Amino acid sequence: MTNQKQRLETLELRRPGFAETPVQTMLLDLLITLHRWNLRIPRTACCEYHAAVRSLSEVQQCLLEAGCKSMDEGSEIGERQCVQCPECFALNVNAEDLNNFRCELCGCDATALQEQGSYMSLASQGHVIRSASI
């Protein structure tokens, strides 16, 4: 067994009642966020994209220096019921009607997934895990 596989098997999901959010979905979410930032681009930067990506290390350092807290503390997701997109598996704040759900990240119009007792219950409901494409 590889070290990475062993490491993944010992980690718990933040919200165990939902499927794990794929890296492709996290990348899409970060890219959308980066597009909202008006950054200083060094003259030496090869391009705006890589300059923006390099700015993430400064942001990450600020976040790491902050005190420990719940990820739901002070967020909309923590204050309201959370649902998951069946297409990209991003967590979303619950719409009033789960059948008229629209994902805030990928725009998927489908019935939102509600938090279950375990990941296997999602699979037993016929939900297929797909990677989001960016």
Domain boundaries, the chain: 19-124
pTM for this prediction: 0.70
Going residue by residue through the chain (134 aa), what tens digit of pLDDT does each one get?
Answer: 566 666 666 789 988 999 999 999 999 999 999 999 999 999 999 999 999 999 999 999 999 999 998 877 655 554 567 889 999 999 987 666 777 888 989 999 988 888 887 444 444 444 444 444 44
Helices (H), 11-91: 23-35, 48-65, 76-79
pLDDT in tens, 64-82: 999 998 877 655 554 567 8
Sequence-distant (6+) residues with CB within 8 A of 90 are: 21, 25, 29, 84, 103, 104, 105, 106, 132
Q: Evaluate the CA torsion angle 15, 16, 22, 23 in order and state its sign.
A: positive
